Amino acid sequence: MIRHIVKINKTHLGGIKFYLILIFAIFAISVFGNEKEKLRVVSLSPCLTELIFHLGEEEHLIGRSSACDYPEGAKQIESAGGFGKPSLEKLISLKPTVVIASALANPAIQKSIEQFGIKFYLLPGKSIDDYFQTVRILGKILNCEEKAKKEIKRVKSGLAKFAKMNKALKKQPPRIYMEIWDKPYMTIGKKSFINDLIEYAGGQNIAKDQNEDYFNCSVEWIITSNPEIIICPAMKTAREADVKSRNGWKNISAVKNDRIYVELNDDLIYRLGPRILEGIELLRTIITK
């Protein structure tokens, strides 16, 4: 009788061991299989890196461009080269499954990356609508579509508030000259998202009718346009006097009324990312003074 019981127990134990091994195998395939398939993302654009952090999906980031410096945690991620200009050798060594960018120094870079079996996404980044599209695409790539929807809703709600405030303004929007570069002079046209930021902030770009995103302009055109406000985000305060002393600029309204603004947080203005509403608010504090 005892031998019979022992025999049965051994048989049961054998079955239990079999099922434990089977369960462990399934678990291992699930965990380690997913680990192999886990997203490993390299971002070659500061605004995209920032967006990934904003969506709370930074665990997937294993590489960035040297220009990706926000938020602070981005600096801890290994650099794969410059903004839109990666070191192919370094990038490949990081073993990414996905590479994303908003611009490339050379279109051939995409083919070079894809030759290694890596998925590459060149995401749009010229307009506010482009931002929404990028958020949607990135939501799908990172499997966080609900977070992406919330981000789009957040920004659209903020833009609606700015539009409502602008309707309440009874005066004509002041004319703005946004100086991107001064040698030669470069500004923004209606195809740049910065043009839209200015409008949401309560101003009007003097080049709003130019069918360009960024373009070089003549000093005569700037003087004739007579901007009421001059904004040079990246220019240091020490150079503000240089603007005032430019030949022929003393009669420009912005110069006469001392409405020249320099040394701003240009990341808020130049980067089409999650801080877009902060960028509009920064411009608004200047424009509606």
For 1-16, the pLDDT digits (tens) are 444 444 445 445 455 5
For the chain, the domains span 41-150, 169-287
Q: Enumerate residues 6+ apart whose C-beta is below 8 A from 106.
A: 85
The tens-digit pLDDT sequence of the chain (289 residues) is 444 444 445 445 455 554 444 444 444 444 444 444 589 999 999 999 999 999 999 999 999 999 999 999 999 999 999 999 999 999 999 999 999 999 999 999 999 999 999 999 999 999 999 999 999 999 999 999 999 999 999 999 999 999 999 998 878 999 999 999 999 999 999 999 999 999 999 999 999 999 999 999 999 999 999 999 999 999 988 888 899 999 999 999 999 999 999 999 999 999 999 999 999 999 999 999 8
Helix, strand or coil for residue 58? helix
Instruction: State pLDDT tens for residues 189-215.
Output: 999 999 999 999 999 999 999 999 999
Instruction: State pLDDT tens for residues 260-286.
Output: 999 999 999 999 999 999 999 999 999
Homologous superfamily of the 169-287 domain (CATH): Nitrogenase molybdenum iron protein domain (3.40.50.1980)
Homologous superfamily of the 41-150 domain (CATH): Nitrogenase molybdenum iron protein domain (3.40.50.1980)
Spatial separation of the C-alpha atoms in residues 257 and 250, rounded to whole Å: 10
